[in-house]
Amino acid sequence: MSDSGPKTRTTIKSGSNYKTDHVAGSQEGVVVDLSQFAEKLIAYEDISHLLNDEQERRIVDYVKSMVDMSYNKIRKRYDHWKEADRAHDVYVKPDATDFREKAVIADTRAIADTVLTYLMAALSGRNPMFQLEGLNRKSRQSSLILERVLHQQMRRTAGEARLAQLLLDSIRYGFAPTKLIWDAKSNQNQIVNFDPRRCFPDPRVNWGDWDNMQYIVFADYSSFNSLLYCGLYPKLRMNPELRHKVSPPRNAWNAHHWHKEEGRGLSIDPAQPNQRERMDHAYFTLGDARVVDEAWVRLSGHEINIPSIDQIFLVITILDENVVIRMQLNPYGQQFPTVIGGLYQDSHKTYGQSLYDLILPMHDIATYLMRSRIDNISAALNNLIFVDPTQVSVPDLIDRNPWGVVRTLPGTKPGDGVFIAQIPDVTKGHMQDIAAMSELKQRVSSASDAQQGMPTSDGVRTATEIQRLTQLGSQRLGVLARVMSATTIRPMVRMMVANIQDSLAMEGSIKVDGQNMPNQLTGLVEDGYLDYDVSKDLQGDIDYLVIDGTLPLEPTRNAEAWMNMLQIMAQTGLNMEYNAGQIAEEAIRAMGISDLDRFRISKQQMQQEGPSPSQQMQLMEKMRGASVQPNENIQKEVSKGNLVPLNQARGNER
């Protein structure tokens, strides 16, 4: 790369007498000159089809440099992730021949599933799924509508499955890159989970400091038709010859190498070339998967030769490592549309720690103990036999006949000439050691037997003790859920809320459950549906309400809380200030009876039939209770002589 213009060498002297040599030039530090496309960039237009060969080459080289920088750092985690995959899948190598090599401890997977179940229930078990709050008075109603619109989109796009994948990657790898994009065709948010081995963030920032990243690159594989019809790459329609490029450079970038195991055929390398023998189909070919690198990058203005711009956020897409098929201004503003999840938050590390990083050493020890136990059993079953060939026919011992007959020489007593070595059972305590390893894994992960729904090993603990231990374990998992809610779910929801608010042409209706409808929305609901307009009803300062990490209340516990509330109101007289009838209805609904209105007596039925006998008894009881005088009034009447205690009256009669 040659610099044009005169060069001058300047020497900058600091206060510490250090010298820095700096060569200045007109094109120094310029990645690619885009000054001629400044207006189109500001207008959010794709300029990939306007680039000349030199500009395209510079951009490809820049993206490759970003990928290589990240790959050289993050690849150190690949071996650990491979071990985590094996433990999670209870995987045995296909070339394992010895039976002992096929023994793998499986409770590690159960522990991971228990933690995943808790996090899913804590983070997405509410209705609506994500709770929003308005940051000012004007945004209160908008937040209530918006959280239901967001809930509708999550249900429609299987958001629970996407969130579960994010949590699974956080548990298994400690690194869960996820994209948040807006689908203009369906007018809704899309959550896209990425394999951690295909995501390359800026390694110069610590964990959690994602706002200071200069770039993040996602590598993926796709067919040409999928790229063509997604609508993001108009250059593919302008240059149809790109379809027939059947031999793109494959795996020239180190980051595109296959770093996973095929396992039981579960993971297939998409870069493997397909057979091109057309046989009798001479008129078509399916083609191979095309490698696509999507880079979200932040550049300074001088790096694109537009010094009037302080910084600019761009999205760049490279096809087959050499063709720029998209380059435009970031449609999501000055942020990257991505969140990176992790189970443990440690801002002093570059990459997050996973649950498997903690429990894999104990998993390996338990697997070794299990395999050594199998070795000992196999040795006992196939123990050594010492034979005197002058007394026993050795071929009969080597090649057993179907009847198990072993011939001895004449005059030899059965059993003589044969000595079977006794193998001592030196591994009889290994099962207890394996159980100890399992308890250690549970202690580290907070996934106790009670959390897993399993009875305790000793079976003598009281219900109170089990409940207390379960609550303590839930508190530890609750802390993880709360931190993930703040560091991963909050930025994700913020992006989805911003995407909805920015889609100014969006209108629609949402179904609102009358049982869970806030009072602020009562006047907006008609026939069980709420109509909204994004430009009017969904704008405002709205943020995600971080959860406390606890699980949502079960219906039975919720009903108990309502009943306790009624009891307190009756004892304190608050039932005169609150509608106790509606509170009682909520208590009944919490017990699982949702269609309570079908039991209600209508006003017309009351007028025609009148009160039932039971209702008449209740009315009489109320009237009787209303005629009872307070104790102070009774004592005053007794002192006046107007009232006499009942026992004195009976004594006077006698």
Q: pLDDT for 225-234, tens place per residue? A: 999 998 899 9
- pLDDT the model gives residue 456: 57
Is the pLDDT at 635 greater than 90, yes or no? no
Confidence of residue 349 (pLDDT cuts 50, 70, 90): very high
Q: What is the model's pLDDT at position 450? A: 65
| φ and ψ at residue 76, rounded to 5 degrees | -65, -15
- Say if CB 218 and CB 195 are below 8 A apart: no
Amino acid at 74: I
Give the contacts of 386 (CB within 8 A, at least 6 positions apart): 418, 419, 420, 421
315 phi-psi bin (left φ>0, alpha ψ -120 to 50, beta other): beta
pLDDT of 79 strictly over 80: yes
Residue 5 has pLDDT above 50, yes or no: no
**Poorest-confidence range of 76-85, 360-369, 499-508, 596-605?**
596-605
Question: Minimal CA–CA distance to 498: which of 546, 531, 539, 530?
Answer: 539
Q: How confident is the model at residue 516 (pLDDT cuts 50, 70, 90)?
A: low
Q: What is the DSSP letter of 602?
A: P
- Categorize the per-residue pLDDT at 210 as very low, low, confident or very high, splitting at 50, 70 and 90: very high
DSSP string, 142-187: HHHHHHHHHHHHHHHTTHHHHHHHHHHHHHHTS-EEEEEEEETTTT
At 166-208, the pLDDT tens digits run: 999 999 999 999 999 998 888 889 999 999 999 999 999 999 9
What residues are paired with 19 via a beta bridge?
13
Residue 459 pLDDT exceeds 60 = no
Q: Are 337 and 180 in contact (CB under 8 A)?
A: yes
- 432 or 414, which is more confident: 432
Whether the Cβ atoms of residue 52 and residue 37 lie closer than 8 Å to each other: no
Taking residues 281-295, report their average pLDDT. Answer: 80
Kindly tell me the sign of the dihedral angle through the C-alpha atoms of 42, 43, 48, 54. Answer: negative
Average pLDDT value for the chain:
81
**pLDDT over threshold 60, residue 636:** yes
Please list, in sequence order, all residues whose beta carbon lies within 8 angstroms of the beta carbon of residue 461, skipping any fewer than 6 positions away.
Answer: 469
Out of 78-92, 146-160, 245-259, 513-527, least confident range: 513-527
Residue 404 has pLDDT above 80, yes or no: no
- How sure is the predictor about 12, in pLDDT bands with cuts at 50, 70 and 90? very low
pLDDT band at 607 (very low <50, low <70, confident <90, very high): confident
Output the CA torsion 628→632→633→639 (10° steps): 130
- pLDDT score, position 551: 67
pLDDT of residue 326: 96
Half-sphere exposure of 422 toward its Cβ, with a 13 Å CA cutoff? Answer: 2
**What pLDDT, on the 0 to 100 scale, is given for residue 10?**
47
pLDDT for residue 544: 83
Which pLDDT belongs to residue 176?
96
Tell me, what's the pLDDT at 218?
97
Report pLDDT for 506: 67
Task: Indicate whether this model's pTM tops 0.95.
Answer: no
